[in-house]
Amino acid sequence: MAKDKKKETAAEEEVKATEATADEAPSKEAELEKELAAAKEAHIRTLAEYDNYRKRTAKEKEGIYGDAKADCMKSLLGVLDNFDRALSVDNSDFESYKKGVEMIYTNFCEILKGLGVEAFGEAGETFDPNFHNGVMHIEDESLGENVIAQVFSKGYKIGDKVLRPAMVQVAN
């Protein structure tokens, strides 16, 4: 009988262990489902935050462009005022008029320099198709190969970006 009792006790323990495992399985499954739901919610929140970030940066970018354009135009309004003043003068001699236009030109060049705009394309420079637009060609023994003989319009750039290539005549 002692053997039977030991077998019964072992069988009862095995049943209890099986029941305990069966009870743990649903709790593990429920725990995993909770973790999955939390991960899904975190993913959805991250997607929403990214979408909001994308919209906000697009709006800021648009605002920065408008502000930069307004600042640039504001700096040019003084030049426009000077031209208005020059045109409103009725009785002035050519020399004073020329001096006024030169002052306006100097003021305008200073504004461009302040905005980071650089002029390029001078006679005697070496021709570079990245910066110059060669519209004419001449043969001149006094100038070297691919040398700019004449500049029809200067070129302008900001940093490495060419705003307008210089229109030039190239020798030889």
pLDDT (0 to 100) of residue 94? 86
pLDDT (0 to 100) of residue 95? 87
Cα distance between residue 21 and residue 24, in whole Å: 5
pLDDT (0 to 100) of residue 113? 93
Rg of the chain over all Cα atoms, to the nearest angstrom: 40
Which superfamily does 118-172 belong to?
A: Head domain of nucleotide exchange factor GrpE (2.30.22.10)
Which of the two residues, 88 and 15, has the higher pLDDT score? Answer: 88
Residue 68: name the closest of 119, 108, 115 by CA.
115
Single-letter amino acid code for the residue at 8 = E
- For residue range 136-155, what is the model confidence (pLDDT) as tens digits? 999 988 888 889 999 999 99
**pLDDT band at residue 2, thresholds of 50, 70 and 90?**
low
pLDDT (0 to 100) of residue 51? 96
Cα distance between residue 149 and residue 131, in whole Å: 15
Per-residue pLDDT for 24 more than 80?
A: no
Domain boundaries, the chain: 118-172
**pLDDT band at residue 156, thresholds of 50, 70 and 90?**
very high
pLDDT (0 to 100) of residue 48? 96
